[in-house]
Structure 1
Amino acid sequence: MKDSNHWLWLAGLLLCGWLVYLLTPILSPFLVGILLAYLGDPLVDRLERCKLSRTWAVIAVFTLFSLLLLLLLLVLLPMLGKQLMHLYQLAPLALDWLQQQALPWLQQQLGLEEDFWRLDQLKAALSGHLGSTTDLVGVILSQATASSLALLAWVGNLLLVPVVSFYLLRDWDLIMAKLRSLLPRRREDVVMTLIGECHEVIGAFLRGQLLVMLALAVIYASGLMLVGLELGLLIGVLAGLASIVPYMGFVVGFGAAVIAVLFQFGLEPYPLLGIAAVFTVGQLLEGMLLTPMLVGDRIGLHPVAVIFAVLAGGQLFGFTGVLLALPVAAVIMVLLRHVHDLYKLSDLYTKHAAVAAEPPSEP
């Protein structure tokens, strides 16, 4: 490829990046639609192999997704809402517990000054805000409806997601075939190899890790509720969501559960042992069954890279950046792996190695 073509491709990439940056405010529903279509395409392909037409297979998958969403809205969200309200009401009591029991003990152990901890102002502000409102949903709705244009835009984006995902899912194979036909013929095999590796990594992470997160959320929430923890469902769901980063769900969930147990039961040993048993079982199932079976070793994304990708995407592009962070990080990882292999085969690497291996010449 000539130098002019290199510069042309670079200019095209820069232009695409600039356009993505400008269109960030409207990209979210399309990215969510692409994500749903990508996740649902294997199910549609399986239904097609069962002699079902593509359109009816898409309708069946959409019906399944809709039922799952309806179950989430009717069962899980009200329960989580009640626990959030309960947590909101317990916050002043938790501050009292910290101020009268936990922090004095810690202060005595560390030898801190008497007025080192100052929670009076925070407690007063929180109690005043709690007394001023009794309907958290009403506050959220009042804020959301403060701007009618913002509300209409939010509702429009929400309604746009199923439309985009339906048409993308129906025409997914055709779109992929059209894109492949546009590839340069001489580079098609190389590009398809790279795309195949990216697909394997992204698919393993999105499908496998999401299933692992769901399974861990169910395990943690069920176990914590059996122990008798009032906030067990909320903590279990948060621990499952945090499991997108390996071991992060265990750290976040176990820490929050221990604090909640100490606040609810005090220093009673049995609830603490129950919490330890729940998270031990969850970690054993994740390491020995869930991750090997659902994800495998195909991801290759380091936990630090996952954290950095999510934070960087959110900082640069907001919610759109969070949606793009992990797929882009997976693609970059695959490309860097091939760049590393090419570097090992290049003269820049081999000649230096050959020079270093030569014995010094005698005078």
Structure 2
Amino acid sequence: MQFTPTQKRAASWCLLTAFISFALWLLAPVLTPFVIATVLAYALTPLVDWLDNVGNRRLPRMLAVLVVELLFIVVVLAVMLLVVPILVKQLPLMREQVPVLLDTLNSTLKPFFAQFGIAFSWDVGSIKAFMLKYLNANADNAFASVMTSLKLGGSVAFAIFGNAVLIPVALFYLLTDWHKLVPRVLLFVPPHMRTSFDSFTAEADAVLGQYLRGQLLVMLVLAVFYSIGLALFGLDLALPIGVFTGLAVFVPYVGFGLGLILATLAGFLEFATSAGPTKAIVMVAVVYGLGQFIESLFLTPRLVGERIGLHPLAVIFALLAFGHLFGFVGVLVALPVSAVLLVAVRRAQAHYLSSQLYQKGGQ
């Protein structure tokens, strides 16, 4: 059987793609910090270029890179530290309110099951003692537990700390030499494909830029909304939980779920003795229900969804697929990568619809 040059070329590209994909799969643990640094460099390069332009190119690029990277690290640490006041506030409340909540739950469930002739009973005292034993543990025991976990999972701890150092270093070099590295990569594109490749990358870059700008606006609006909404119900931790929920929306569904759990737990613990758990349920239902409604029907469609064009089912599938293949990093990059793949699919579809093969099939 004879193959045409076009078929041979297509087969070669398929084999090359399969080989590269297999190599990337094998090297995924090693490549992860570099992939993260590359994504961050792509997102932060415009800010570095802006600082260069503001300084009329008199500001050394290395200094602009240092300023941008330090600002980024500060923002990341600030987001992570939002959890600290939540834990500091919640742990003492849990020690105080858990016994009360257990008694309330016990007194509520017994009459409910009694209506159906079910004799419901549980050992509230033992459950209280079990939970309070761990909630009342001192800092020394907690520190010892953490150290034991680090010893048992030394490789995991080493990987975390190694990535925490490697990612900023790789990001610094990528931001510094970004405009030198990109042209070198483009040299691997065959000259006869350069026009199509440049057109594709320009469209993908526009889609990703719109996605990032739209997502940042959505995060800012939701952070303000959740903070104000929780504060109106009198929640002491309204600001950290609201800001955390708004910023965590960057990870679709997962961020909203974490914020919902934190707000529910904080509401139950804070309102247990004053207004009862009903106020916590109403607060979460109103604030997070309205927030999800606003995000789904107004913010995301107008600022993000319409610009990317991904169906909700495609979003869910992308999150599950990338999360399964690449872990938490995959969840973070699922939507941007899916947006680029969508551009490729659109171009492939347009090429097929305009091809002679499709036109002959329609005759």
Q: Same fold (TM over 0.5)?
A: yes
1:45 aligned to 46, 49, 53, which one? 49
SS of 1:298's equivalent in the other structure is helix
* Structure 1 unmatched runs, 5+: 355-363
1:305 aligned to 314, 328, 338, which one? 314
1:96 and 1:54, CA in 2 relative to 1: closer, same or farther beyond 3 A?
A: same
Equivalent position of 2:65 in the other structure: 58
Quick check: 1:164 aligned with 2:173? no
Distance apart, 1:220 and its partner CA: 1.0
Equivalent position of 1:184 in the other structure: 190
Quick check: 1:325 aligned with 2:337? no
Contact 1:198 1:330 in 2 (8 A): yes
* Alpha-carbon separation, structure 1, partners of 2:326 and 2:289: 37
1:196 aligned to 177, 192, 202, which one? 202
Contact 1:217 1:240 in 2 (8 A): yes
Contact 1:31 1:320 in 2 (8 A): no
1:268 and 1:131, CA in 2 relative to 1: closer, same or farther beyond 3 A?
A: closer
* Alpha-carbon separation, structure 2, partners of 1:180 and 1:220: 44
Equivalent position of 2:11 in the other structure: 7
SS of 1:179's equivalent in the other structure is helix
SS of 1:310's equivalent in the other structure is helix
Distance apart, 1:194 and its partner CA: 1.7
| 1:177 counterpart letter in structure 2 | P
Describe the superposition over 1:49-85 as per-residue Cα deviations: whole angstroms up to 9, x where unpaired. Answer: 2213432321221232244345446x52421332453
Equivalent position of 1:68 in the other structure: 75
| 2:311 counterpart letter in structure 1 | H
Between the aligned residues of both structures, percent identity stands at 36
* Alpha-carbon separation, structure 1, partners of 2:360 and 2:97: 65
Distance apart, 1:309 and its partner CA: 1.7
1:339 aligned to 341, 348, 352, which one? 348
| 1:322 counterpart letter in structure 2 | V
1:243 and 1:152, CA in 2 relative to 1: closer, same or farther beyond 3 A?
A: closer
Describe the superposition over 1:161-184 as per-residue Cα deviations: whole angstroms up to 9, x where unpaired. Answer: 111001101111111122223211
| 1:195 counterpart letter in structure 2 | T
| 1:342 counterpart letter in structure 2 | H
| 2:21 counterpart letter in structure 1 | G
Quick check: 1:24 aligned with 2:28? yes
In the alignment of these two chains, the number of paired residues is 351
* Alpha-carbon separation, structure 1, partners of 2:352 and 2:264: 49
5 Å-filtered alignment, 1:205-354, equals 205-230=211-236, 232-233=238-239, 235-237=241-243, 239-240=245-246, 243-244=249-250, 257=263, 261=267, 264=271, 265-266=275-276, 278-279=287-288, 282=291, 286=295, 291=300, 295=304, 297-347=306-356, 349-351=358-360, 353-354=362-363
Describe the superposition over 1:222-279 as per-residue Cα deviations: whole angstroms up to 9, x where unpaired. Answer: 431442225545643563256347788778756874675466232767x777666645
The 10-residue stretch of structure 1 (322-331 or 229-238) with the greater mean CA deviation from structure 2: 229-238
SS of 1:297's equivalent in the other structure is helix
Contact 1:209 1:244 in 2 (8 A): yes
* Structure 2 unmatched runs, 5+: none
Contact 2:91 2:135 in 1 (8 A): no
| 2:276 counterpart letter in structure 1 | G
